[in-house]
Amino acid sequence: MPWNIPIMLTWMRVLMIPVFTVLFYPPIKYWLDPQTINWAAAIIFAAAAVTDWFDGYLARRWKQTSDFGAFLDPVADKLMVAVALILLVKLDRTTALYAMIIIGREITISALREWMAQMGRRNSVAVATIGKLKTTAQMAAILLLLIGMQDFYGLDLILIGNILMFIASVLTVWSMFYYLKMAWKELGR
């Protein structure tokens, strides 16, 4: 396993997950007020999102890409998003339907990418613009829902977060069918 800054950033993201999760469980809940917990969780999630972008950028720029990094990076992303969605459903800030759509799509596309890679056709399901739009809407929604304020300078962040979560869910389904279509074309060749 190679050790370099991009992989260390990815491992840092993996290690943020238990810290992020423990914020919502005792005894932390009794030591900190709820809004401090919300902001801390949002900051950790935002840091994870930034390191996700940054580790990929550095790996490409410094030519430090590796098979292990290509494996670990999406695993870290999907784990952080899944944990955040489950916590948001538990906190009653979003619906389980959105979480099921997003987590289900992530599992499906990850399995599809693995299958296509085994067939030597990984590039047929490479990240597309629709996937990037989905990720942007999803990350913004989760961030707003983690902050969880209904009156943030006159803005209802939970309402806005759920509107973005709806958009992310639509883009999630759309992107899933896009990737399945690309894979189907490859299989037909």
Reported as a single tens digit per residue, the pLDDT across 93-110 is: 999 999 999 999 999 988
More confident residue, 121 or 81: 81
Q: What is the mean pLDDT of residues 154-168?
A: 97
DSSP for 86-112 reads HHHHHTTSS-HHHHHHHHHHHHHHHHH
**C-alpha separations of 78 from 37, 85, 119 in Å:** 22, 10, 23
Per-residue pLDDT, 189: 66
Residue for token digits 């996937």? 131
- Please state the pTM of the whole predicted model: 0.90
Q: Which of the four pLDDT bands, split at 50, 70 and 90, describes residue 126?
A: low
Report whether pLDDT(186) > 80.
Answer: no
Q: What is the mean pLDDT of residues 137-163?
A: 96
Confirm if 174 and 120 have CB atoms less than 8 A apart: no
Q: pLDDT, tens digit, for every residue of 15-43?
A: 999 999 999 887 777 788 999 999 999 99
Q: Which of 29-33, 71-75, 81-85, 174-178 has the highest mean pLDDT?
A: 81-85
Report whether pLDDT(166) > 90.
Answer: yes
DSSP 26: T
| Mean pLDDT, rounded, of the chain | 89
Distance (Å, rounded) from C-alpha 79 to C-alpha 136? 17
Per-residue pLDDT, 161: 98
Residue for token digits 């410094």? 62
At CA 166, angle to CA 137 and CA 56, rounded to 5?
25
Tokens of 48: 């994870």
More confident residue, 68 or 175: 175
- Spell out the residues 6+ positions from residue 39 whose beta carbon is closer than 8 angstroms to its own: 147
Which domains occur in the chain, in start order? 5-188 (1.20.120.1760)
Distance (Å, rounded) from C-alpha 100 to C-alpha 63? 36
Per-residue pLDDT, 30: 78
Report whether pLDDT(167) > 70.
Answer: yes
